[in-house]
Structure 1
Amino acid sequence: MTDLSQLRFFVTPEHDCSYLDGQQATTLFLDPAVNISAELNGQLSALGFRRSGNHLYRPQCRQCNACIPARVPVDLYRPGRTQQRIRRRNTDLQLSIGAARLDDEVFALYERYILQRHADGDMYPPSRSQFEDFLLHDLPFTRFHEFRLDGRLVAVAVTDHLPNGLSAVYTFYEPELPQRSLGRFAIQHQIAHCRELGLPHLYLGYWIRECQKMSYKGEYRPLEVLIHQKWVRI
């Protein structure tokens, strides 16, 4: 286990918040020179950090605490009726798990997703270099969970496999299949895979009550949130 007291962390200047309009944000991040292992990623995930590319970070805003780290205790999770319907709707999908990769098939799906679902976000316009910086690094614990429909790639859940759980880094999917709720189905799959691996938690990143794009995370119950450095079940 890494002695976190020996690591250096930095704080960014204030910048526009990616989630809440009109808000300013600051971010605490781990020294980028530090080699990110699965163990270190797991330790910091339990403290509310997230990974983006080769950065481990968490919000550290002076006047706002809207970004609440959230995780699912997988042994206690029970799908509600809506989630059961989503699962039944996708029983015809084929799943494979492999190393993170960038090829024409993967990038075409990512590009369609960003153009149609997140044209107002930080990842627009999509490019191969931006994809590589965000999702591809030489990290042996990162996997692509790929979902196919009759051989066609329709969703990719980028997932970090850690000693204390799985971390749902990012999911992109076919925007022309909204009736399948592929993003929500990917979370159900990751919860089930945690159980298969004997891991206790699925880390979902930040739950932001005021942000519509993040509100879906509150659907997974029970949910644990990090309040004053303690995980509290809701």
Structure 2
Amino acid sequence: MRHTLPLAPQFYVTAPQPCPYLEGRMERKLFTALQGDGAEQLNDALSKQGFRRSQNVLYRPSCAECSACLSARIAVDRFRPSKSQRRVRRRNAYLERRASAPWATEEQYALFRDYLDSRHATGGMADMDLFEFAAMIEETPVRSRLIEYTDLSASRDDPHGGLEAVCLTDVLDDGLSMVYSFFDPDLAAQSLGTYVILDHVDLARSMGLPYVYLGYWVPGSPKMGYKARFSGLEIYHKGRWQRLEEPERFEADTHPLSVPPIAEQVARISLPDTRPTRREE
């Protein structure tokens, strides 16, 4: 099925498949290609409307009978770390952050494989090989950075070379978008996933950016529910960003009539003006 807007990217819908977050439900995605000179503007504009990037594709859940997946972001100026989050910061203060162009390494892949085998052994990425991993990291048409967190005191025998966590991050015009992150599953006590988010909040604040985009918050999903523990959280719901003040009220928000038809969803998408500016004579 294809839907188009005048002078706009083409939007498509995936075939239904089992939902990876909520048992017994089917997922479907609305997506468009991310390419050409206007890729960054399109990524900026659609990220503000609940879309996420995966390589050169932008997608958003568009399930026929469920609206549980909600794009989430932290408003940096309203974020206040909890006591436990402050402890996580102190616990991981020994890590050195390194930001570089998105380039895959064998150490990253080894860490990625350990993470998947421990946390997502039956997920859609479970069979990803080194070349597919490199494509996930390196195939980006927008401004992306690979942020590594390393223990410089690690022994030379460390299979990850001291690498403990990694995050592929897009730099948007209004924030940092955490595209994908993974960490050493053997260091569960370090709460590395939480630490990477906390560090991105610090990074965004230092860059003068107002938001950190976290991906989707899915009430009722053990995998995705942790995002509600961060203060200053906003969700994209019913066409606008709003503060998440009562997470429990979204638990049953899955009625099929709450999902607009695909054509209506596409018609509501605001696209950036990427036409070249005429030079003054």
Compute the TM-score of the two structures, normalised by the length of structure 2.
0.78
Whether 1:201 and 2:203 are equivalent positions in the alignment is no
Residues 35-67 of structure 1, C-alpha deviations (whole Å, 9 max, x = no match): 663322111010000011211000111210000
Q: In 1, distance between residues paired with 2:145 and 2:197? A: 14
Within-5 A mapping of 1:1-234: 6-31=8-33, 37-150=39-152, 152-234=162-244
Which structure 2 segments of 5+ residues have no match? 154-161, 245-281
**1:173-224 Cα deviation digits (max 9, x unpaired):** 1111111111110000001101111111111111001110101111111211
Higher strand share: 1
Within 2, Cα distance between the matches of 1:139 and 1:112? 28
Equivalent residue of 2:86, what SS? helix
1:58 to 1:4, Cα distance in 2 relative to 1, 3 A = farther
- Deviation by residue 1:105-144 (Cα, 9 ceiling, x = unmatched): 1111111111122102111023112213433214351111
- Paired AA for residue 98 in structure 2: S
Farther-moved stretch of structure 1 (185-194 vs 22-31): 22-31
| 1:51 aligned counterpart, secondary structure | strand
| Structure 1 counterpart of 2:133, one-letter code | F
Q: Greater CA radius of gyration, 1 or 2?
A: 2
Q: Which runs of 5+ in 1 are unaligned?
A: none
Equivalent-residue separation in structure 1 for 2:149 and 2:142 (angstroms): 21
Q: 1:29 is matched by which residue type in structure 2? A: F
Letter in 2 for 1:231: W
For residues 203 and 36 of structure 1, do their structure 2 counterparts lie closer, same or farther at Cα, with a shift above 3 Å needed?
Answer: farther
